[in-house]
Chains A and B, each alone.
Chain A
Amino acid sequence: MNNREWATSLLHPLVAVLVGLLAGAFAIWVVGASVIETYAEMWKGAFGSFYFATNTLTRATPIMLAGLGVALAFRAGFFNLGAEGQMVLGAVAAALTALYLPGPGWLKLAAALFAGFLVGGLWSAVAGWLDAAFKLNLLITTLLMNYIAILFAGYLVTEPFKDTTGSAAIAQTPMIDRAAWLPKLFSGMSLHAGFLIAAVAALLLYIIIRHSAFGYEVRMFGYNPSFAAYGGIVRTRVMLISMLASGGLAGLAGTVEVLGMQYRYIDGALTVPGYAWTGLMACLLANSHPLGTALASLLLAALQTGAMGVERNTEVPLEIASVIQAVLILFVSAKFSYSFWKRRKARESHGTTV
């Protein structure tokens, strides 16, 4: 990529962010608060001190992993909208593994990370298999499987694996043994080793997509499925593997949140903050580029933690963040164009290509 391409690929997301912030300014103005003051509070809430900055990184961790998962699937041309369900199932599997597997702490931790990846990946691969074998629309099945996964995880922690020692009102598993926790990076701060896992995952995914044979297959498939098939790439194989890895990353997102932050699976603790959907937004914002997705995750996480600061110190509610995000994504989507989408549009348009 030369400098000019770099500049244009960066320019569009930046303009989108600006438009989002303008829309946010309008919403703040409608509420009747001071725009500058509100955005100043937002900055302080996100990066105002070392404590707040690490908080932002902590929040970015699951968003980043979920976003990377979505990015991988999008790269291959598969609309995996099931990151939320995959994340929740991965999280619950990791929590149960860490709770019930006998052995030393490091083994529990490793097994839990693996279980989270595997369960999230398998759940996602089921949707891939339904598409590959029975041609069920992947977009719809992944969406519907979210509801099933969330309800199933909710059932697990309200009935068989419910924590009976604490308050009966909260549906959650018992606390995981301290030895199996992901270590904190700084004492007294919320940032945990999951962030490093996410950062490594972003780098790895970047390298795999750009420099490996499988990454080449994925990209080929995303660009032009018929050409890829002609070149001997088996659709089912690419689909199953990329969906497995995609769901696995989403599962890992839930896993690091459980092992590094909450130390148990709490019903709703992953779905209410909307980590998976924010990850999807990050992926859209970065046009499915792995490193870009990581950066966009940081940005969106900063918006959210910043909005919490806004809620604490001004009259503006924290939901302002979701308005800004949505406008930003809407703006990005207007020019969201992969070559395979361009190709489809060219086929559909009323021009000369048909």
Chain B
Amino acid sequence: MEQLFDISLLNSTVRMVTPILLAALGGALCARVGLFNVGLEGLVLIGAFAAIVGNHFTGSLLLAILLAVLCVVLFSLLFAYMAINLKANEIVVGIALNFLAVGLTTFALRTIFEVKGAFYDKNMDGLPSLTLPLIDQIPVVGPIVSGHSPLVYFTFLLVVLMHIYLFKTVSGFRLLATGENPIAAQSMGVKVRRVQYLAVVLCGVFCGLAGAQLSLGQVTMFAEGMTAGRGFIALVAMMLGQSNPSGVMAASLLFGFMDALSIRLQGFSIPTHFTLMLPYVMTIVAMFLFRDKSYLQLAQRGGGSDR
């Protein structure tokens, strides 16, 4: 711990950013169809728990990830039904979903694994880290980019895919139109509800993957409330990135770096409380520095306060 900034810090940034980025991309999809999803935190938590359950009982990482995705999609359908069909306030539904996630995971942790607080099994395998054949050899980039779990690479691929989908395909345009003006979209024959459901389900898939990366990629365990506000930080990343995949990625990288830095700083003689505070403080600072009109509109539409 002699050096603060080095290559391994950037390497862990890439690892830490993944759950935030995945959740933020999911949130961005919801925001693009006019739904402000405060439930990201809870969705990721459910994904993290389901991934551990799947891994423990099947022993297969693939099945674990699938189970995580499946469970989270079910919960996002609940969100979609309440917010779209019942027209409930999506912020309140999101908050309720977070409560439900905390309640169900702690309850299930007690009943399935009969432990309190955290579940850890030393025989359980985490996601493997891939060594990229050629890139590995490049001096500085190699050690940063190589050696992550498949989900990390998938996430960055997803940013590209989502960019192409939103801005280059017909279906993506319909999705954007739904968010811009639902009535106009509907009059053009877009099935507004179907598009909204699609966005929420995709958000569920992303959050499921985010949870799997959190509980199987970074550590191989589940702890109560292990998301620790990452879902909320993802919301900020989504707002700062103006729900634009590349912008969301840039904002998430900043917060991932803060996450990595906060862990790195623990080796120095600064009280851990302050190093742990860093990601949250920097998130507020980032909101302050990068405030501009376009994301404000979204924030205002989404709530926080109604003006």
Contacts and interface: CB of A to CB of B under 8 A. Distances in A.
A325 B284 contact: no
B92 interface: yes
A64 to B, nearest CB: 18
Interface stretch (B83-91, B135-143, B160-168): B83-91
A334 B86 contact: yes
A280 B102 CA distance: 15
Given A139-B304, A147-B280, A330-B82, A319 B287 contact: no
B95 A135 contact: no
Contacts of A159: 271
B229 interface: yes
B99 A277 contact: yes
Contact of B296 (A30, A135, A319, A334): A135
A350 B192 CA distance: 10
Contacts of B96: 284, 326, 329-330, 332-333
A327 B111 contact: no
Given A317-B110, A335-B88, A145 B284 contact: yes
Contacts of A330: 78, 82, 93, 96-97, 99-100
A136 B302 CA distance: 13
Interface size class of A (residues with CB under 8 A): 35 or more
Contacts of B305: 77-79, 131, 137-139, 239
Given A148-B277, A333-B92, A322 B307 contact: no
Nearest to A284: B92
Interface stretch (A98-106, A110-118, A177-185, A339-347): A339-347
B307 A335 contact: no
Interface size class of B (residues with CB under 8 A): 35 or more
Interface string B285-307: 00110010000100100111111
Interface string B185-224: 0100000100000000000000000000000000000000
Given A77-B305, A137-B304, A333 B93 contact: yes
A281 interface: yes
Nearest to A144: B280
Contact of B287 (A31, A141, A277, A280): A141
A348 interface: yes
A35 interface: no
A207 interface: no
A345 B100 CA distance: 24
Most chain A CB within a 10 A radius of its CB, from B89, B97, B236, B277:
B89
Given A239-B305, A340-B306, A158 B273 contact: yes
A154 interface: yes
A237 B271 CA distance: 37
Given A143-B232, A147-B229, A147-B277, A322 B106 contact: yes
B62 interface: no
Given A317-B110, A323-B107, A143 B229 contact: yes
A88 interface: no
Contact of A137 (B182, B239, B273, B280): B239
B267 interface: no
A330 B97 CA distance: 7
Contacts of B102: 322, 326
A354 B183 contact: yes
Contact of A280 (B82, B95, B283): B95
B9 interface: no
B284 A136 contact: yes
B306 to A, nearest CB: 5
Most chain A CB within a 10 A radius of its CB, from B110, B273, B283:
B273
Contact of B288 (A27, A134, A155, A354): A134
B34 interface: yes
Nearest to A354: B183
Interface in B75-131: 78, 82, 86-89, 91-93, 95-97, 99-100, 102-104, 106-107, 109-111
A350 B273 contact: no
Contact of B274 (A31, A130, A140, A151): A151
A144 B93 contact: no
B235 interface: yes
A337 interface: yes
B276 interface: yes
B132 interface: no
Contacts of A317: 107, 110-111
Contacts of A79: 91, 303-305
A152 interface: yes
A334 B81 CA distance: 9
B38 interface: yes
Contacts of A326: 96, 99-100, 102-104
Contact of A333 (B34, B88, B109, B233): B88
Nearest to B92: A333
A50 to B, nearest CB: 30
11 contacts: A30-B111, A79-B304, A135-B299, A139-B303, A140-B299, A147-B277, A152-B273, A235-B307, A319-B103, A326-B99, A333-B95
Top 6 A-B pairs, shortest CB-CB distance: A322-B103, A155-B273, A139-B304, A326-B100, A137-B304, A317-B110
